Amino acid sequence: MPKSDAIYVLDTGTFIEVERLYPDRFPSFWRDLDALADAGRLHSVSEVTKELVHKQTREFLAKWVDARDKLFPTPTTGETKFVADIFKVPGFLALVNQKKQLKGGVVADPWVVARAATLKATVVSQETRDTDKIRIPKVCRHFNIPCVDLQGMMKQEGWVY
């Protein structure tokens, strides 16, 4: 029985973290993650799938993501407007590193935050809470959006393995 009714938006780093939890070794975790998705409480964004392809994820995770393409929608108008609001904040353009800006690379972070904002959801990110760098947690704090790491989500859900 979940301890929460929270909605979660996962970033790329979180998917990379769960990639370490092989389904044949952690079947209960994957059942719980599937149940969260089936309940409509698990979300991400299309840019995350692009980043995962770039990072060459393991086959089982790639298949899991492909089978749940509805979890990774293209941005809505509201999300696009929220991303514009993020970049209006001095310094937050650093969320997109300069190399990606110049090369037009894939960038999921602002879209993850925007999706969470529009869904009134919690961001799940493995990024550090280092106050010197512009990372997802800092942007979430600025906009008053809850942000936890994978362990935090598991704790909120009451998952114990």
Domain boundary assignment for the chain? 8-157
pTM over 0.85: yes
For 55-59, 85-89, 93-97, 117-121, which range has the lowest pLDDT when averaged over its residues? 93-97
From the list 62, 39, 64, the residue with the least C-alpha distance to 52 is 62
From the list 58, 107, 115, the residue with the least C-alpha distance to 66 is 58
Question: Would you say residue 102 has pLDDT above 60?
Answer: no
Average pLDDT over residues 29-56: 94
Question: Would you say residue 55 has pLDDT above 90?
Answer: no
Sheet holding 8-10, edge to edge: 42-43, 8-10, 122-124, 147-148
Strands 42-43 and 8-10 come out as: parallel
Question: Would you say residue 150 has pLDDT above 80?
Answer: yes
Domain covering 8-157: architecture: 3-Layer(aba) Sandwich (3.40)
Q: What is the pLDDT of residue 136?
A: 94
Q: What is the pLDDT of residue 95?
A: 82
C-alpha to C-alpha distance for 26 and 45, rounded to whole angstroms: 25
pLDDT in tens, 20-41: 999 999 999 999 999 999 999 9
Q: Which residue has the higher pLDDT, 24 or 53?
A: 24
Q: How confident is the model at residue 90 (pLDDT cuts 50, 70, 90)?
A: confident
Q: How confident is the model at residue 18 (pLDDT cuts 50, 70, 90)?
A: very high
